Structure 1
Amino acid sequence: MPDRAAADMPLVPTQNKLIAARLNEYADLLEAQGDDGFRIKAYRTAAREIEALSDSLRNVFETGGAKALVALRGVGWGIAAAIVEMLTTGHWQQLDRLKGSLTPEALFGSIPGIGEKLASRLVNTLDIETLEDLEAALRLGEKPVPGIGPRRRAAILAVLGQRLERHRRETTMAHGGDEPPVSLLLDADALYRAKAAAGDLRRIAPKRFNPTGEAWLPIMHARRGDWHLTVLYSNTARAHELDRTRDWVVIYFQDADGPEGRRTVVTERTGSLAGIRVVRGREEECRQHYATSPTGVTAAVKNTPPLETG
């Protein structure tokens, strides 16, 4: 005869269990890769609370949006953004990145109308990695992609719009789009490259461009104030083509109030900043930063308080 108390206990929705498992896996990877305890504890706490939740996360989200998720115990805006991404796209890029399994080909292949070959052409032609990148590139239409005519382009954009619209609306509402100052990003870039050169960082085995499965890609987690950073060398097709995999550094940043952002730091090749490390897309801020540094370029990496790392 079944235990009555057990029979009366609410069943945890399957999707809740899957999301909680992903949050725990993320926390495990952060710990293995040397992150500090703050984020590790936060993700494990959220996973535990979600496992104890009787209502489905999808129902919570559909009823009240990201605000309703944040109202759950243990769930802040950053974790809510991750849950929204999993619910609306089926993927969580932050987890895939730490596992080394993130491939834009697989991500694009999840869109109806994009098969394996077309996904590969999109990546190689447009040099993009995310669904947001794909949407922007197709809207601009600056580079033609073989196999994508006007009708197919419109159909793919329609699907992308539906998939990303609510995710974008909910996470934008939670976060005003603030970014760390360029001084912090340049400092993280310098620290990462120094630690990578010294062999002081954990390495992961990316799935892309790595047929032997070698763990060659150094990964660094760091924190300053409310900003949490994950830093890696670029592993894009373009970086490999131009032999810039040890020059282009990608910094993913997130504070307690919003979703993840991304910037790339490179060695400028032309102009007045040639030979100097700059944050791509924020070159003018870098120019001003170097101009106001007491001793110029050197001060840009020396006069910033040290990042906290694991």
Structure 2
Amino acid sequence: MARPNKEIQALLQEYADLILITGGDAFRARAYEKAARAIGGSRADVSQLDEKGLRDIPGVGKSIADKVVEYLRTGEMPEMGEVRERIPSGVRHLVEIPMLGPKKAKILYDDLGISSVPALREAIEQGRLRDLKGFGPKTEENILHGIELLRVAGERIPLNVATELAEEVVAALNEVEGCEKCTWAGSLRRMRETVGDVDILVAARRSEPFMEAFRALPYVAETIAQGEKKTSIRTSTGTQVDLRVVPPGSWGAALIYFTGSKAHNIRLREMAVRRRLKLSEYGLFHAKSGKKIVSETEEEVYARLDLPWIPPTLREDRGEIAAALHDGPRRSGGSRASRGSHEAEKEKESESADEPQQLPELLTESDIKGDLHTHTNLTDGLASLEDMVDAAARRGLLYYAVTDHAPELRMQQMTEEKILAQRERVRELDGKRRKMRLLHGTELNIGPGGDVDWPEDFLRDFDICVASVHSHFNQNRDAQTRRLLRACDNPRIHIIGHPTTRIIGKREGLDVDLDAVFAACARTGTALEINAHPHRLDLHDEHILRAKHHGVKFAVNTDAHSLPDLECLGYGVGMAQRGWLTADQVINTWPLRRLRSFLRTPQP
């Protein structure tokens, strides 16, 4: 995303929030919010577009385009200034608190004069909110929890933001003369859902040219620390990036060390010690003589420890060492003592793991043959059916499902007539874009009692039905569990979408007995979604590991609401890898004939 796009996205989103805080029209606020998302996701640099070019971005109308042009020309948006004068900046910050919202923020300001997060916390501690309509002890508890979520979220970087920044840095450093290798490491390489900072690793014989180029990047706000081997900077958005330059001969050992996790590396170092070796970021050495044995590639370091190469997404000390040992040594030959040590380690590591298993042949993005959860501008998407289909075909998908929202989400204004007209158009486009096959589906809303929007006889004619929770998040654990179990038992529902409903840093997942839901999905043959949108990543890795043991099938979907969203699939694949999934456990890796058979098979 071009940097001016981020600025405009934030501006329009703030204006949408201010409309709601001041009691303005909800549909108008939604239009600005939709335009903010569209501009934020556009590949075009909005600072280079005129009014017509802006209007070519789906979701951006003439009025909003004119305001954006004026802002880019003058640095001001008069309407924004007028509203800002009416609402203190602190109140605008209150809206950022998860589970609070614009309406409650306005009440807090109007009735109690609360205009900052610290003032709100103090008011709760003093019990001053309890006399306000709609504010009770549970609301206070939720707000305090939201304040903590906001604090933690401010310390972590979303996976997509970190990836985008890392790609920019790596691209720039690859252009520096003398660069032999350059990549990112740390928790980003392990595809953690959020990261604390970004780690970049370069292999080169001289470090200073890279340190200079790094400090000179246009988005560097300050240099935190600098040295011969490591330099740390902070970007204009507050993200810390650490650069380390290592000799080419140490690349493999350094990449293992700086990728982590810490617990995984400790396991490797313990294995080295038992072999009278020493492992560090510089290489694998004989402990007594100090002679380097290997260090140039990750594969050779692992192999010298009698291990296969372990994918970064598995390096969390969750049994991957035991699983790797399960397959036996990866080096030819080796002494009898070494082989005996290997067997002893295999037994020791297997005891420490939850259950011995082999390293899986992990799902890859190239395994994915289709996307089974996407939206168009018929509901809350930003692009037309034709544009979404064209973009999916360009990505090489073999099949693609359109699953716009059903009518329970009233803001989407869906009707039977609209969805049937869309189905007709989907049938017309089927197989016409690079022979990609199309499925017509819907995303149903799971109501508070587990019911869904349309009756079973109407749902029978959809190719695929995704069902998701979109409201009533505060039901108690038993009610939430019954709600999802009823959806799993619905014979017309094929996939439970974003199963916990979480939004990273803004909303925690439902309070639900997930093991009961996993068991029900395994029994009924209902797949669970791994939602690839970087704000959701739902299910996350720990839930995937639990669900997998129940025998659940999964679907890695983008839940795309715009053309750029279709490119988020890799984040979902990363989460699936962290959950140890293979391709066969993911239904949208299957050939279309097998998938259609799965979708038609009645539940037991």
Q: Same fold (TM over 0.5)?
A: no
Please, what TM-score do these two structures have when normalized by structure 2? 0.17
Higher helix share: 1
* Larger RCO: 1 or 2 (CA < 8 Å, sep 6+): 1
Mark the structure with the bigger radius of gyration. Answer: 2
